């Protein structure tokens, strides 16, 4: 009798602490570079992003987001389930898991915390977009939002543009914007100031980050100077359609932008057409400079599953080498399933 392909194998469980110990922002950026190139090269198979919205959204803005895909280059096969409760306190509005499977036989290789991976992979996309699209001599970064995604986007953007000398930070919470500005100065070594309006956050900035859960546009056309680069990392309602219409829009993935991105809101409003959408980010990661003085650019980050799979796969490889995590026998032995 042939050996059952699951016999003798265990599933590795990796929590947020293990993820943080195994990967840093620089490695996350490199994993995302490979992920976006795979997407542009057509080696990724994925389902459309699926949203399960809970009833009574006016009382409780909660939903599940489900992404599934496979990258034939990295052999990563998996699913991410993300629970987003937008009205929870910052730092507690996401919960999620990534499940990785053996592409040859479907064995569940790992269960990985998705919250930190989501923040890191999303932020890494902002860094890659900044490197491709922002002014090479940008001096000021303006940030709207102070959550996990904002923090990782700030880190990656500063790595991409070491010329940035000053960061302005706005959040509705005075405490959080002050804390974020202090953290930027102490941990990243860049001068930062908390400000009390969006207008002050964007004033003089050549690069912007929006990373909010705002159900209404928080960034309008009046906030956008010609030639600025915007990393739009939050939910799809955070930008006014006029901002999208005034920008050269580069999405993480074309279908995601059309169905679920900031571009989709502008499309529904009639502010843009399908033909207005620029190339996806992976097509621009060839090392050449795509910044054009005077052209406003927008990276529309909706989240593509290959981002999650690429980073989770990297984490799993590190965990296996280090013997990190908890191994669990899920009962997939031959005698139990025949």
The residues facing 44 across adjacent strands are 71
Q: Please give the distance of CA 81 from its chain centroid, rounded to a whole number.
A: 14
Within the chain, which residue ranges are assigned CATH 3.40.50.720?
120-303
Instruction: Give the whole-angstrom CA distance, residue 321 versus residue 24.
Output: 16
Range list of β-strands (E), the chain? 11-14, 44-46, 50-53, 62-71, 76-85, 94-101, 108-113, 140-144, 166-170, 191-194, 207-210, 229-232, 248-251, 297-300, 326-328
Q: Of 112, 109, 79, 110, which Cα lies nearest the Cα of 6?
A: 109
DSSP 8-state secondary structure symbol assigned to residue 186: I
Within the chain, which residue ranges are assigned CATH 3.30.1780.10?
11-117+306-337
> Which fold does the domain 120-303 belong to in CATH?
Rossmann fold (3.40.50)
- In order along its 338 residues, the chain shows pLDDT tens digits of 457 778 788 999 999 999 999 999 999 999 999 999 999 999 999 988 888 888 877 777 888 889 999 999 889 999 999 888 877 776 677 789 999 999 999 999 999 999 999 999 999 999 999 999 999 999 999 999 998 899 999 999 999 999 999 999 999 999 999 999 999 999 999 999 999 999 999 999 999 999 998 989 999 999 999 999 999 999 999 999 999 999 999 999 999 999 989 999 999 999 999 999 999 999 999 776 678 888 999 999 998 999 999 999 999 999 999 999 999 988 665 555 55
Q: Parallel, antiparallel, or unpaired: how do β-strands 94-101 and 108-113 relate?
A: antiparallel
DSSP 8-state secondary structure symbol assigned to residue 85: E
The CATH-assigned architecture of domain 11-117+306-337 is: 2-Layer Sandwich (3.30)
pLDDT at 101: 97
pLDDT at 119: 92
DSSP 8-state secondary structure symbol assigned to residue 219: B
Structure token pair of residue 54: 């809970």
Q: What is the pTM of this model?
A: 0.90
Q: Parallel, antiparallel, or unpaired: how do β-strands 50-53 and 297-300 relate?
A: unpaired
In three-state secondary structure terms, 2 is coil
pLDDT at 260: 87
Structure token pair of residue 132: 């491709």
pLDDT at 2: 54
């Amino acid at each position: 009798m042939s050996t059952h392909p699951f016999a003798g194998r265990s599933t590795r469980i990796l929590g947020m602490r293990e993820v943080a110990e195994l990967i840093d922002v620089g490695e996350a950026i490199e994993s995302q570079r490979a992920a976006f190139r795979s997407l542009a090269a057509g080696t990724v198979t994925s389902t459309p992003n699926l949203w399960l919205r809970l009833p009574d959204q006016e009382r409780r803005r909660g939903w599940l987001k489900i992404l599934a895909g496979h990258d034939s280059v990295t052999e990563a096969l998996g699913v991410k389930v993300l629970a987003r409760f937008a009205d929870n306190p910052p730092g507690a509005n996401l919960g999620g898991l990534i499940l990785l499977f053996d592409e040859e036989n479907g064995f569940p290789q790992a269960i990985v915390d998705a919250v930190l991976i989501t923040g890191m992979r999303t932020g890494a996309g902002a860094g890659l977009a900044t490197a491709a699209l922002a002014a090479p001599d940008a001096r000021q970064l303006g940030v709207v939002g102070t959550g996990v995604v904002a923090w990782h986007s700030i880190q990656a953007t500063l790595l991409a543009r070491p010329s940035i000398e000053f960061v302005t930070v706005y959040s509705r919470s005075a405490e959080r914007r002050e804390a974020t500005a202090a953290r930027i100065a102490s941990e990243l070594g860049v001068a930062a100031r908390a400000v009390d309006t969006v207008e002050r956050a964007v004033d003089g900035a050549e690069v912007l980050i929006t990373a909010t859960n705002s159900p209404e546009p928080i960034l309008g056309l009046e906030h956008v100077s010609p030639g600025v680069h915007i990393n739009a990392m939050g939910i799809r309602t955070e930008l006014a359609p006029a901002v999208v219409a005034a920008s050269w829009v580069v999405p993480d993935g074309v279908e995601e932008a059309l169905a679920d991105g900031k571009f989709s809101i502008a499309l529904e409003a009639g502010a843009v057409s399908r033909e207005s959408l620029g190339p996806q980010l992976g097509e621009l990661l060839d090392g050449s400079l795509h910044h054009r003085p005077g052209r406003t650019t927008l990276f529309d980050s909706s989240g593509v599953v290959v981002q999650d799979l690429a980073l989770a796969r990297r984490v799993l490889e590190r965990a296996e080498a280090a013997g990190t995590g908890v191994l669990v026998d899920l009962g997939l032995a031959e005698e139990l399933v025949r």
